[in-house]
Amino acid sequence: MALTLSQRVRRYSSIGALMLLLSGCGVTHRVSEGEPASTQEALREPVPFSRQAAQRYTPDDWPEVLRADVYLPETLGEQLRPAALVVHGGGWRNRGREDMHAISEKLAAQGYVTVNIEHRFAPDDHFPAQLYDLQQAMRWLHANAAAWQVDTERIVGVGFSSGAHLVSLLAVAGAEGPLAEPYGGEQSRLAAVLAGGLPSDLLKFDDGRLVVDFIGGTRAEKREAYVLASPARQITEAAPPHFLYHGTWDQLVPVDHATDFYAALVAHDVESELYLLHGRGHIASFLLNGQAIEAGIAFLNRQIKP
C-alpha cells in the first residue's frame, strides 16, 4: 500500500531512518544546455554583512504579525545590490526561519540583501494565504529597496521543501494570472529561483494530511486549487531561471517532482539546472546537500551578476 505524505513524514523523521538517509552517497550534476561555468568561477569573494533580526514585514491590518531576519552585506558606495527572499520548509505547517540561517548567511556573504521570512501555517490558514504572505514580503522588500540599496530587478527566491514550493509558485504565478490578485503583480516578480526538495505538482500526492490541510480539501473536493497551487502546472515562457536540487532517495517528495518540473521548464525554454543528490532522502538533502547550495548560488550569480 502506498504511504500518504503525512505517513512518509512520520516514517522518515525517526532517528533510525535519518541515519540511513545520511549514509554513503555521490552527487551528479545535470544542466539543460551544455556545461555551466565552474562553481568557483561564479562565486565572489565573501563580503562582511550584518543581521537585523525579527523585523515585522506584514502591514498593520494583516491577519497575523509575521517577521523576517534581514541580512545586509557591506555596501560599496552607491552601488545597488541584488536581494534574496528566503523561505523555510516544514510541510506548510511548522518549522521557522532559523532553519534557513546558514543559507541566508551564504547569500549575504555573496552580496545579496537577504530577507529570511516566516509565513502563516496550515491547517489554520489554507492556500493561498501562504503565497499572499510571500507577496507581502516582496512588497516590503520593494518598500525598503532604497534604504537597503536593492536593485529590484535582481531579486531571487530561495527555499527548501514547502518553502521551495512557495518560492517557485511565487516565481511562476505570483506576478501574473489569478494568483497575482490582490497582493501580487510586478512587485512579486523574481529574477531566478534556487529550490531544493520541491513538491512541484500537488496532484501527484495521495490525500494525506499535510497537503489536504494546506489546500483545505482533497483532490476530488478542490481540484482547481490543487492545479493553481502546483508550480509545474503554472509554467509559462515568462518563468524565471530555476536551479533545482533533489535527493534520488526522497520518499517524502519523490524525485520525479524535480525531474518532471525540470523537463517542463526546459520545454518552455526556461533556463534551468538540475542537481541530483544520489542516495539522499528528503531530510538528508537539506542537512547534507554536498555542493548543491554553492552550485545553486553560483547559478543565481550567473543570472543576476551581483
Each residue of 91-107: pLDDT tens digit? 999 999 999 999 999 99
Q: CA 55 to CA 191: how far, in whole Å?
A: 24
Backbone angles phi, psi at 115, to 5 degrees: -115, 105
Q: Is 150 contained in some domain?
A: yes
CA 172 to chain centre: 12
Q: Is 185 contained in some domain?
A: yes
pLDDT for the residue numbered 127: 98
Q: CA 97 to CA 91: how far, in whole Å?
A: 14
Residue of 10 and 72 predicted with greater confidence: 72
Residue of 95 and 39 predicted with greater confidence: 95
Exposure of 130 in the CB half-sphere (CA atoms within 13 A): 32
- Residue 80: give its domain's CATH number: 3.40.50.1820
Q: What is the pLDDT of residues 42-64, one digit of tens each?
A: 898 999 999 999 999 999 999 99
Q: What is the grid cell recorded at 250?
A: 526522497
Q: Is 19 contained in some domain?
A: no
The residue segments making up the domain with residue 99 are 5-9+31-304
pLDDT for the residue numbered 38: 64
Q: Is 163 contained in some domain?
A: yes
Q: CA 92 to CA 213: how far, in whole Å?
A: 9
Strands 113-117 and 272-277: unpaired
Q: At residue 122, does pLDDT exceed 90?
A: yes
Q: Is 23 contained in some domain?
A: no
| Percent of the chain topping pLDDT 90 | 82
Q: At residue 300, does pLDDT exceed 50?
A: yes
Residue type, 82: P
Q: Is 24 contained in some domain?
A: no
Q: Give the Å distances, CA to CA, from 188 to 20, 246, 286.
A: 40, 25, 26
Question: Crossing angle, helix 15-22 and helix 5-12, to 10 degrees?
Answer: 80
Mean pLDDT (the chain, rounded): 89
Q: Is 18 contained in some domain?
A: no
Q: Is 16 contained in some domain?
A: no
pLDDT for the residue numbered 32: 37
Domain total in the chain: 1
Tell whether pTM > 0.85.
yes
